[in-house]
Amino acid sequence: MDVTNTFLHGTIDEEIYMSLPQGYTPANGAPLPPNAVCKLHKSLYGLKQASRQWYHCFSTMVLNEGFEQSHVDNSLFVKQTGESFIALLVYVDDIMIASNNDFDLQALQAALHKAFKIKDFGAPRYFIGLEIARNASGISICQRKYALDILASTDMLACKPENVPMDPTIHLSRESGNLLVDGTSCRELVGRLLYLTITRPDITFAVNNLSQFLSCPTDVHYAAALRVLRYIKSNLGQGLFYSVDTELYLNAFSDANYGTCPDSRRSVTGFCVYLGTSLISWKSKKQGTMSRSSTEAEYM
């Protein structure tokens, strides 16, 4: 669903004044005093408080409907009544709803239409860069178009594919290569790759490693980032699949290397969590302290 004129719904809770629009005249034709201004009661586009006031307006309405806000992600709201479950995710003016109860879903849609002017686009196929496909066997999520856009913007559409995202024999450090005169392109590329890891756990470790050098990117770091693009070229449609037949049990796997960072000698922890056969959480992160043995790195 999509909210029309999103930022115009927020109510201002502080004194804010605005210059009169050009050509404004009072309805009764009365003359305006010198240096006249308008006191705002509602937020406007361009106001720095607008996004905060809209979120406050929307979250208040959803919480009044009996939803609870997630402690992990403030944009996620959930409601459970008996066996009925509804999850609502909001991104600025875009709303995605998932539910196992059609009656409760229709009631929520009616409440949203009553509170705001909303467009209903039906079953989701594209949401903030995520491509969603559904069939009888499950739900597939990927970012194929987003990956193609990255390749196109870096002139890598015709590049030779790679089998792995990172050379396992090379350990990047701050001293690797020569400092780039302008590291903007490297930073932008790594930033876009970070968003791609939403559905690509296979590049998470490589992108996490590259993101450590954004303050001082070198030609070697940029070459490593381009290698990730060549790997993406080999499997553009790679993503996540959530099966309808999987059993509801949790499996978690974790591992750590030992002191592979040349700069800090710290180890890297990686983990992934499955709900049945569906991957639902993963991470690659450098450990907070230095380990004195591989056993200590594994323990941490």
Q: pLDDT digit string (tens) for 246-261?
A: 888 999 999 998 888 8
Q: How many CB atoms lie within 10 A of CB 129?
A: 14
Upper half-sphere CA count for residue 214 (Cβ side, 13 Å):
15
What average pLDDT does the structure give for the chain?
89
Q: Give the pLDDT band (50/70/90) at residue 231.
A: very high
Sign of CA dihedral 204, 210, 213, 214: negative
- pLDDT recorded at residue 227: 94
Angle formed at CA 88 by CA 83 and CA 90, multiple of 5 degrees:
175
CA 261 to chain centre: 27
pLDDT given at position 10: 80
> Which CA distances in Å does 153 have to 144, 189, 299?
14, 10, 42
Q: Which two tokens stand for residue 136?
A: 């009888």
* Better-scored residue on pLDDT, 241 or 30: 241
